[in-house]
Structure 1
Amino acid sequence: MDTQQNTALTRALAEVPGPLPTSGVIHIAIPHTDRFTIVGNHLAQHPDLSCTAVGIAVRIQSLPQGIEIGIKALAARCREGEKRIAAALRELEAFGYLQRVRDRLPSGRFITRTVFCNQPTALVRSGPTAPQQPAAPARRPAQTPVPMPAPTTAPAGARTPPPGPDTSAPPVPPPPLFAAHPAPLFVPLVPPPTAPKPPPAPLPRPDEPTPELDRAATALLSDLRRHAPQLTLSETDIRHLVPGVAAWLERAAHPDAVRRTLTTDLPHPLRHPAKLLKHRLTALLPPPLRGAHDLTAPARPRITVTPFQTCDDCDRAFRSPAPGHCRDCREHREHREHREHREHREHREHRSEATRTAA
């Protein structure tokens, strides 16, 4: 039995504008008429938010105002557990989509309001706005009529000054704000789209340009269309990119390696081939090739080892730069020499005393 074809799907695919891609997703966009929520790509394609956080944000954004969106309330509505929901809420709070603001009611009691902003960067650009309460009509006190001075006739050719402001009525105070907070609701971690971007890095150039490098770089760029038809460059683009390729060749990069770097994993469709090549030549520039002397291992410091010697008296091994006696034998010899010297001095003094007694 053959597989049944969905005629509605086939008809919808036929109405998709443009040629259908050979791989990847195909979007069939049917406009919604009711029960839909607008979600920005900055949230749906956020590079730092997890899919759970994005899904929780879409669920919160689709709920009406006043619905409880605590951890337990969301766990009752979703299949995720409380731990995953708590982690997702922390992610949304870190990037400014979810905020908790303390507010004071007219009764004096403080409450915590949970605020979800579908576009935090736009809120930061325009500043925190708060809905204004309609101001009650001010009750003016009864005033007595003041007689107006009679108008004077200005001379011909003179300019009549404009009437001044009426200072008789008291100034009406501005309507109070809903919640006045001295600090902004949050500090965004993502820079706004209007933030100034750093200037692009310049195209690398060779330190010592030569005609040989220029010819080799021109030939390599002109030959790229044989390996990738999308990289068919004009003469102006080739002249502009020649210094970048020459810088690669000057740093001992093989032409095949340069060609492989410029033609591998090209985007589809490729709209600006010259800009892509300039980016790759600048961002992937290899360092200069070092010489053979730079690749040798550094010489280790020479360590002097004291050799072993044999004691002349006790044949004990000890370390010493020259042969002789060990420490114990040296101390023993010094003690013996000291004792002999003392005995010799005492003997000499004894003989001197005996000589004086005999005399």
Structure 2
Amino acid sequence: MQIHRIRHARGFTVLPNALLQDRRLSYTARGLLADLLSRPDGWREDGRHMADTSPQGRLAVAKALRELTAFGYYRVERVRRPDGTFVSETHVYDIPQVGPGAVRPGSGRSTAGSRDAHPVKDRGKEPTLPAQRTASPDPGGQRDVASPPPSPALTEAAAVLHQVTAAEPRLRLGAAEALTLAPLAAPWLERGLGPRDLSFALLGGLPERVHSATAFLRDRLTRKLPPEPVAVPPPPRRYECPGCARPTPHEGTCRTCAGADAPPPDAVDERARTAARGRALARAALNGHRPGQLTGARA
């Protein structure tokens, strides 16, 4: 996504990014809040008039006002006048005012002795854009320090997440959200898994409504991460005897070709005597003599 901006000289409103990127609010509530903050101090407009001039209608505007009230951006107070009558005063904030320790900024009117009041715009001067942040050379300094650029591995992981979730409207991510989830997607790429594997893991069996794409993807990236592949040892190397080509457990000549398996001379003589006796017994059996008779005759 590429952002194109121009330098504005007049007719613009500066808003904090935390307000525009508050995922607790719906897009309708954020747009209504931006519209209210763009009005000058003292502007009179009620919810019905805002609903009548909006394509969303009264129900959508009323729901957006309830969201802004719940998260501290919008507040209506009843104030008693000196004559005893009551009036409603509406306060709109660009930072949430929730909790007992919340600091409520002053209105746009310049008040004598009020240090927290916003200064009134000088109609005779050209407004200037906020200065760019610069990295502080002192790590312990109090100045705003720009965050370091992401590593190439995280950049690649964020790009893969964009590629996988672009086709699913319920899981579309912004650049900041993709970089937040990049550390969870990087192990998938390190284990040899690609966009196809991530698509099967992240897009399969989606619920009808996804309230938070970031939380949903964080859960699936963590829970469905495949285990690390187990290193399989290579098979043992097979050797062959150069003399007879028989397989051997080690390199070199086998025992038979080396003569290590040759029987001793006494064993050879014993084998010869056993073979001669066996032949004599077989011959006697063929001639009709019993082994005992042959033995007695010889004796």
CA radius of gyration, larger in: 1
Question: Which TM-score applies when normalising by structure 1?
Answer: 0.31
TM-score, normalised on structure 2? 0.36
